[in-house]
Structure 1
């Protein structure tokens, strides 16, 4: 089943297409739950809901939850209860300001009910496969030792109107939010009657459970949270605890503070019952991320990476670690891919991993004893959220490609056969076709990418948009709602999605080619693949533009200062002056590892502003902490004052600056996504297609409203 291709010709329809993500499976393998985001009633955001998908593929998907606040983080317990988080109002609570709480749908069905509600909310939930052990992540104010103290301090701040944060370490921001004063922690959920300290003083006592209705059994006893991560040497950032199947312990990556505001990570094991903690793996100049624990709990697969330097890029490798002694064994170190371990097979003989590879993200199986790697899937798709059935014969996952958005599928682990299940979201019909393109760079290295094309022929060929991915350690291999080529294909453009040097999925040497030298191999690779595509008969090489966001925006700026071959440049959330970007990004210590001051100066696009003679559309969000707004502001000023295409004497300019005061590194609000695409389309139509300037969206306030608009 699919929806018409017309969704790509109407932005209102496009932003309203439901969006699927995530997958959870019950321990017995009979239930699958995914999350679907749909447009809210005001069309200003998305509301998420949990949907159940039949693993057999026989029954249609059905909705489990419904609320204006939405639900997320589905996790099954061993007994089949389904936990999730939501800020939906608790029907049994008079709290005026709902906050993200822990909710439960019993295995036998029925209405969802609140399990625990606390000041500051619940961020996430994890469960064990073989035991009813539940963990949550939540914030705790540093001055609090108990939940009551935490609630009291939070109430004092709120009533005093204070939002100041006093820091004693680094980092202080992440992505689009300020860190602190609450610090993330991991808690065990256990029976108890602890109440929120700011609850009604006339309510029941702290250890009293609400009385059940006469003649009924209360199957949701009160619970309390027990802190498991107190006393760490440095605050956790985004904790992702990995529970053992029996729920007896968890593995956690913890930050290790270093001199000069540096940090790396180590692996610790925490006993859930006692809270006892000991370090399993802590090596100088390494980062450790925990992966899944074996079925018998004796081993875990972890990713160990080196701390990068200006000459050494990341090189993550798999290890098997003894969960008692910390002894490690390399796993598949001869395999030249960056793998993410996702699950053990039930017999403990193999590990299933995902890895970018040649413009796809297949499923691989690694034999733990021999390190032999076998590719399981061979479709042109990117896989995620893989879960394995208890019998080990099949797995379920979410996959997507540039031909279809994320969907839930079943995978036969023996044959590799993939079956699409009856999911809650229909595939949209794309308005064109997808081809793979390859060329050879100047140094002899193969470079490939995807080319999205309109159906049919165009007189003189299709105009071409070169889209440069962010990262830069990434790949154009999965569907994206933010940079969707089919919206532009529907307007007659061909869209080139190349993977230049630094892209993942082509081996370590391919990354090394561009490490510390962004303006070198990545740029020449992009020009080489563009040359190959414009040489095609169905492409009009005289009508081209380059576009990119984040690192792609950096490359767009670099392209603008090094060639005039494009008629227009669109640069989103872009790095401009690297000496200013480095100390102000939210992870400055990471940037300092990547480039020396000399490398930064050589590769900084701002040095070439005088050579820019191409009209540029600059786009930036003020809440962008990854590439702070100062980059966009300086780029805009220097385009108008110093570029080879400066503002005229009357102040007019061909350049444009689209600014979003409330957006971050990404443009997420649907109404803003529509504005983004409308402004980009108008800019390209004027400069690439040579059309008269289009009427811009009325919501920008620059043009008169439609005649039928309400007064």
Structure 2
């Protein structure tokens, strides 16, 4: 018997396309594609080549380019068509290593065996290639006192032999998501391309020996001729905060100058992208908002590399750019932004500011790759009813449709239908939502409802999710409501202003209004409803639990519970404090919004889920929530993952995550006997 993809053992084995890179001549697409490793305990990635022509135009089937037990990722093309990528595989030409670090490898343009061309003691991170000269820039970490790779190797060996793992921090941040910051810090290196088929990259040159923590989270960009490197640079400010700027570094002299940002700038700047003509840089400009002022905001900023003169490219729009790319002639910018529950692609004329939406479907796009002839944009398209797949877009279209390329990913049929609903909140604001319906849902056989609230909170429920997939529930008979309440992006800044600093009350009202609208449908069983959410969605799960007993069960994943404790333990408190202030100086918003203050009102059975390696919402939040539920004698369970982070990433744990939720829902929504998942 063949099992469907939404059966959990099959689901974790699905092949997933994770990116897309077009060669400079526009003839080849390469994508990292992940699937389950042979031991079934992790996922691994390989590089695949995708034909740039749709199947209807004779496009051939994708072919796999790389194979190794460690997997490969982050593909970039050299000028000769060879492909650089990172992998932690063992180099057969080097001395044995106990734990090989990610290194740069090269796959020849005409095929053949890949070979290692650069390595570092701490491994190689993000990298880029100058389009014309082939100069390579890459990130790698060094211990603070290390001047070169040999010194770094010796310093690491000394720490290891002495049994030292301690890190002395003198500035924020201390942690990020699931990783400790330090004791080493990122620097950026440049190296010339290989001179022949046997050579490695040239001797790496450190351009940022004084960087300290300035390059955390940054990725390098090069002008086409390789003469200038552009990269994000963090400058420490008062209270352990920082200011994000963009600097340009002369790759010959090493001279560095700030080209975007500064102490008087209204925005923080990052994600630099150099124009193909090498004269300008495009950056994402953001604000974290202010306690007494406006909420968060984002736009695109263009700057002349020579003069430093810059301007806002979207002064008359309220789009939040998520991804962007230059056209080959440097006259157009293609960008992606949330809009009304979609994530379309827009075309922006740099000279006139004219903005045109080039995709008119309900897709969510990413990984933009404009073609060198200016005719097309290659991208990944996904939606709630389709996993990411490569497509070709007409660059000159208005509300056009994608042409699908043959994909190395999984092409799936959904066990139900996707629709959308909307309602009007109590303050008159439109609130919309996607609704996933199981195949059997009808007036004669209404489906139980699961309300999912998204994380962020500054995001939109507009595309496919491998971690939280509603079709897994739909296949088991549930309708799944996926709303965009207050604080969601894609509906203008007023949607953020409504709940800025008042997450709980305002968002709760929106979520209850859209739930009412869903429950009014004849194909929804309003007597059997549940709710779940993760991160901010978990926060809302906790808030909802303390403010209504309408749900039969609530699942709270990686959730915020006691906000005054969370504010100082999250991985970068200054971002949080821009909206909420500090508990001692500005306690009002903590008292208004903290779910733990309503613990005594919780009557709904709750499943608490948390990973110990979660540094964004630290494990203390889950432990305190669990303890408070026990003290108030709430029917609750705590699913704890000692080695997972904000997300549950390993295949086995992902299956157990779903299985535990199913068992909890079966028990409390359908009244079935509680059956603990077999492996628990």
The alignment's TM-score, normalised by the length of structure 2, stands at: 0.95
Tell me, yes or no, if structure 1 residue 680 matches structure 2 residue 666: no
- The correspondence of residues 423-462 of structure 1 with structure 2, limited to 5 A, is 423-457=407-441, 459-462=444-447
Q: Is the partner of 1:22 in helix, strand or coil?
A: coil
Larger Rg: 1
Q: Is the partner of 2:153 in helix, strand or coil?
A: helix
The structure 1 residue matched to 2:594, chosen from 588, 591, 604, is: 604
Tell me, yes or no, if structure 1 residue 477 matches structure 2 residue 462: yes
Q: Which residue of 2 aligns with 1:704?
A: none
| Structure 1 residue ranges without an equivalent (≥5) | 193-208, 210-216, 648-653, 701-711
Residue deviations 1:490-512 (CA, integer Å, cap 9, x gap): 00000000000000111111111
Q: Which residue of 2 aligns with 1:637?
A: 627
Contact 2:323 2:367 in 1 (8 A): no
Q: Which residue of 2 aligns with 1:146?
A: 148
- Deviation (angstroms), 1:231: 1.6
Q: Which residue of 2 aligns with 1:666?
A: 647
Q: Which residue of 2 aligns with 1:254?
A: 233
Residues of 2 paired with 1:492 and 1:428: CA distance? 18
Contact 1:101 1:122 in 2 (8 A): yes
Residue deviations 1:251-297 (CA, integer Å, cap 9, x gap): 21111111111112111111122221101122335311143222221
- The correspondence of residues 109-508 of structure 1 with structure 2, limited to 5 A, is 109-190=111-192, 218-221=197-200, 223-232=202-211, 234-283=213-262, 284=264, 286-310=267-291, 311-415=293-397, 416-457=400-441, 459-508=444-493
Q: Is the partner of 2:45 in helix, strand or coil?
A: strand
- Deviation (angstroms), 1:191: 6.7
- Deviation (angstroms), 1:488: 0.3
Residue deviations 1:91-135 (CA, integer Å, cap 9, x gap): 112313222111001223221000012211111221122221111
Q: Which moved more, 1:390-399 or 1:229-238?
A: 229-238
Residue deviations 1:642-664 (CA, integer Å, cap 9, x gap): x3xx16xxxxxx21100000000
Q: Which residue of 2 aligns with 1:25?
A: 22
- Deviation (angstroms), 1:692: 2.0
Contact 1:190 1:226 in 2 (8 A): no
Contact 2:376 2:393 in 1 (8 A): yes
Tell me, yes or no, if structure 1 residue 47 matches structure 2 residue 27: no
Q: Which residue of 1 aligns with 2:584?
A: none
Q: Is the partner of 1:443 in helix, strand or coil?
A: coil
Distance 1:546 1:302, change over 3 A: same
Residue deviations 1:40-93 (CA, integer Å, cap 9, x gap): 122110111000001123110000000000001101112212000101111112
- Deviation (angstroms), 1:5: 8.0
Residue deviations 1:371-406 (CA, integer Å, cap 9, x gap): 111000111111111101110101111110011111
Q: Which residue of 1 aligns with 2:9?
A: 12
Q: Which residue of 2 aligns with 1:574?
A: 559
Residue deviations 1:463-502 (CA, integer Å, cap 9, x gap): 0000000000011111101100000000000000000000
Q: Is the partner of 1:698 in helix, strand or coil?
A: coil
Distance 1:681 1:31, change over 3 A: same
Distance 1:603 1:52, change over 3 A: same
Q: Is the partner of 1:699 in helix, strand or coil?
A: coil
- Deviation (angstroms), 1:618: 0.3
Tell me, yes or no, if structure 1 residue 699 matches structure 2 residue 676: no
Residue deviations 1:136-163 (CA, integer Å, cap 9, x gap): 1111110111121111111111222221
Q: Is the partner of 2:324 in helix, strand or coil?
A: strand
Residues of 1 paired with 2:130 and 2:325: CA distance? 14
Residues of 2 paired with 1:221 and 1:42: CA distance? 33
- Deviation (angstroms), 1:539: 0.3
Residues of 2 paired with 1:49 and 1:472: CA distance? 32
Q: Is the partner of 1:507 in helix, strand or coil?
A: coil
Q: Is the partner of 2:312 in helix, strand or coil?
A: strand
How many residue pairs get matched?
664
The structure 1 residue matched to 2:501, chosen from 506, 516, 524, is: 516
Q: Which residue of 2 aligns with 1:589?
A: 574
Residue deviations 1:617-641 (CA, integer Å, cap 9, x gap): 0000000000000000000001110
Contact 1:191 1:224 in 2 (8 A): no
Residues of 2 paired with 1:121 and 1:547: CA distance? 39
Q: Is the partner of 1:48 in helix, strand or coil?
A: strand
Contact 1:561 1:608 in 2 (8 A): yes
Q: Which moved more, 1:410-419 or 1:609-618?
A: 410-419
Contact 2:17 2:33 in 1 (8 A): yes
Residues of 2 paired with 1:444 and 1:169: CA distance? 45
Distance 1:99 1:221, change over 3 A: closer
Distance 1:77 1:222, change over 3 A: closer
| Structure 2 residue ranges without an equivalent (≥5) | 582-586
Contact 2:73 2:87 in 1 (8 A): yes
Residues of 1 paired with 2:637 and 2:122: CA distance? 41
- Deviation (angstroms), 1:584: 0.3
Residue deviations 1:293-335 (CA, integer Å, cap 9, x gap): 2222111222222342124221112222111121112212111
The structure 1 residue matched to 2:529, chosen from 540, 544, 563, is: 544
Q: Which residue of 1 aligns with 2:607?
A: 617
Contact 2:302 2:310 in 1 (8 A): yes
Q: Is the partner of 1:525 in helix, strand or coil?
A: helix
Residue deviations 1:572-622 (CA, integer Å, cap 9, x gap): 000000000000000111111111321122100000001100000000000
Contact 1:341 1:351 in 2 (8 A): no
Q: Which moved more, 1:601-610 or 1:413-422?
A: 413-422
Residues of 1 paired with 2:63 and 2:288: CA distance? 46
Distance 1:414 1:218, change over 3 A: closer
Residues of 1 paired with 2:387 and 2:97: CA distance? 38
The alignment's TM-score, normalised by the length of structure 1, stands at: 0.91
Contact 2:449 2:528 in 1 (8 A): yes
Contact 2:323 2:368 in 1 (8 A): no
Residues of 1 paired with 2:533 and 2:410: CA distance? 29
Q: Aligned-residue CA RMSD in angstroms?
A: 1.7
